[in-house]
Amino acid sequence: MTREDELFRINDTAFYTFDIRILKERIGYIKAALPEDVSVCYAVKANPFIVREIERDVDGFEVCSPGEAEICERLEIPSKKMVISGVYKTPSFIEKLIANPDFDGTFTVESPLQYSLLCGLSQQYGRKISILLRLTNDSQFGMSEPDIESILLNRDRYPLVNHAGIQYFSGTQKSSVKKLRREIEHLDEWLISLQDRYGYTAGCLEYGPGFPVAYFAEDEFEEAGFLSEFSKMLEEMTFRTEIVLEIGRGIAANCGRYYTHIVDIKQNKGRNYVLVDGGMHHIVYFGQSMAIKQPKLSVVGKPGVNTETKWMICGSLCSMNDIIAKQIPLPDIEIGDILCFENTGAYCMTEGISLFLSREIPAVYLIRENGEAVCVRPAYETSQLNLSEYGREQL
């Protein structure tokens, strides 16, 4: 059995760890803070590596692409737990799901075209399907209120289609209680008006609250108070229905750590540079803001910092943009030291431009609750992915 501390010896390049104990504690914390009857659906895009580990801890999975569906299928996640979401639903993929008599997941509907596709396939295969109509947040996602209302007005045309409810996701990193209140109050009023005007009772509100994660010192916020306010807002809704919260970042972020080795140290024109073997192709904090704000990081085995010297931490790509952190105080460092970036369990890994410069994709380890470090993906040479098959045949 490999222990977490052995990973530093085994890996001579960057890697990620996702700590399952921290992850499960996090889900437990969020659930305890929410009203008892509210369910939690994990957004797979935040981190597909932890899906199997939390299958029993969450009520469902939001699946946003054929690739994510394949991951869930291969992990034998029951289709009943899947909400097939996404602004582009590949028609052949949707047909495959609807044609499959064993599939009983739910589909979201992001446009009138998607509605026609889903209803048409349901009729063609004579299969009952369940859908959630996604309300837009004034972006390319979801549908306008009039579009949804027009669907609901004519919903009897499709007796095989269960118009199960409404989905609404308005953005991520939302820490303003005021904004969430406005959003929930509006949803509440609109759901009541659907009942009054169209005799439609939404059986479910699948709502993405976009819970914030404090990545940087200036992001700190009082989470317990925030969650308690949020729960109160849900409880105060007049329209009573099943509420499912779609959460990605808020569940996955704090279980993740990214480790990268210091491979060079230098001073250029009075600036101190640390070069690491990872870089922005591996790790992206929220919206590339990592070089503007200071992410939480430490040097393995070296507590404290020397505040006299500030460092630019740069990755190993041929790009001046490959700056992971700016003006960071570190302890006294040397080549071979390992930097640990905290809170990297959500999106950080998959939003990196992993194929740039044909560098390796980092290995991924799950740290099981008994302390065992399990390698769930070895480091990958991306040169194979960047090699033209056509070119190879011609050689």
Q: Mark residues 158-187: x for contact with ligand PLP by CB under 6 A, - for none.
A: -----------x--x---------------
Question: Which one of residues 105, 165, 250, 362 is an interface residue with ligand PLP (CB under 6 A)?
Answer: 250
Q: Which amino acid is located at 122 in the chain?
A: S
Q: Is 249 in the site for ligand PLP (CB under 6 A)?
A: yes
Among 105, 210, 279, 352, binds ligand PLP (CB under 6 A): 210
The answer for residues whose C-beta is within 8 angstroms of residue 140's C-beta and 6 or more apart is: 87
Stretch that binds ligand PLP, among 185-193, 206-214, 268-276, 362-370 (CB under 6 A): 206-214
Task: Single out the residue of 14, 247, 297, 330 in contact with ligand PLP (rule: CB under 6 A).
Answer: 247
Task: Tell me how far, at minimum, the Cβ of 251 lies from ligand PLP, in Å.
Answer: 7
> In this structure, what token pair is assigned to residue 121?
């396939």
Question: Would strands 338-341 and 256-268 be described as parallel, antiparallel, or unpaired?
Answer: antiparallel
| Dihedral sign of CA atoms 355, 358, 359, 365 in order | positive
Q: Please state the closest distance from residue 122 (CB atom) to ligand PLP, in A.
A: 22
Q: How far is the CB of 292 from ligand PLP (least distance, A)?
A: 20
Residues 46, 191, 204, 290: which binds ligand PLP (CB under 6 A)?
46
Give the integer Cα–Cα distance in Å for 180 and 192. Answer: 18
User: Rounded to whole angstroms, how far apart are CA atoms 191 and 194?
Assistant: 5
Which range binds ligand PLP by CB under 6 A, 13-21, 241-249, 336-344, 364-372?
241-249
Supply φ then ψ for residue 324, to 5 degrees: -90, -30
CB–CB of 273/312 below 8 Å?
A: yes
- Which residue's beta carbon is nearest to the bound ligand PLP? 248
- Binder of ligand PLP out of 7, 30, 43, 364 (CB under 6 A): 43
Q: 227 and 33 in contact (C-beta within 8 Å)?
A: yes
* Residues facing residue 84 across a β-bridge: 63, 107
Instruction: Say how far apart CA 168 and CA 186 lie, in whole Å.
Output: 11
Instruction: Please say whether the dihedral angle defined by the alpha carbons of residues 231, 233, 239 and 244, taken in this order, is positive or negative.
Output: negative
CB of 205 to ligand PLP, least distance (A): 13
Nearest residue to 360 (alpha-carbon basis) of 112, 92, 11, 9: 11
256 binds ligand PLP (CB under 6 A): no
CB of 191 to ligand PLP, least distance (A): 18
Q: Which of 93, 32, 33, 23 is nearest to 65 (CA)?
A: 93
**Considering CB under 6 A, how many residues would be counted as binding ligand PLP?**
14
Distance in Å, CB of 167 to ligand PLP, minimum? 7
Site string for ligand PLP, 107-146 (x = CB under 6 A): ----------------------------------------
Residue type, 97: L
Phi, psi of 256 (to 5 degrees): -100, 145
Question: For residues 206 and 322, which CB has a smaller minimum distance to ligand PLP in the complex?
Answer: 206
Contact pattern from residue 304 through residue 343 relative to ligand PLP, giving x for each residue in contact according to CB under 6 A and a dash for the rest: ----------------------------------------
Q: Shortest CA distance to 97 belongs to which of 133, 63, 53, 141?
A: 63
Q: Between 85 and 106, name the residue whose CB sits nearer to ligand PLP.
A: 85
Asked if 373 and 329 touch (Cβ cutoff 8 Å), the reply is no
Shortest separation between residue 89's beta carbon and ligand PLP, angstroms = 13
Strand 256-268 and strand 271-276: the pairing is antiparallel
Among 62, 110, 188, 277, binds ligand PLP (CB under 6 A): 62
Binding to ligand PLP (CB under 6 A) within 219-238 occurs at: none
Binding site for ligand PLP (CB under 6 A): 43, 46, 62, 85, 169, 172, 208, 210-211, 246-250
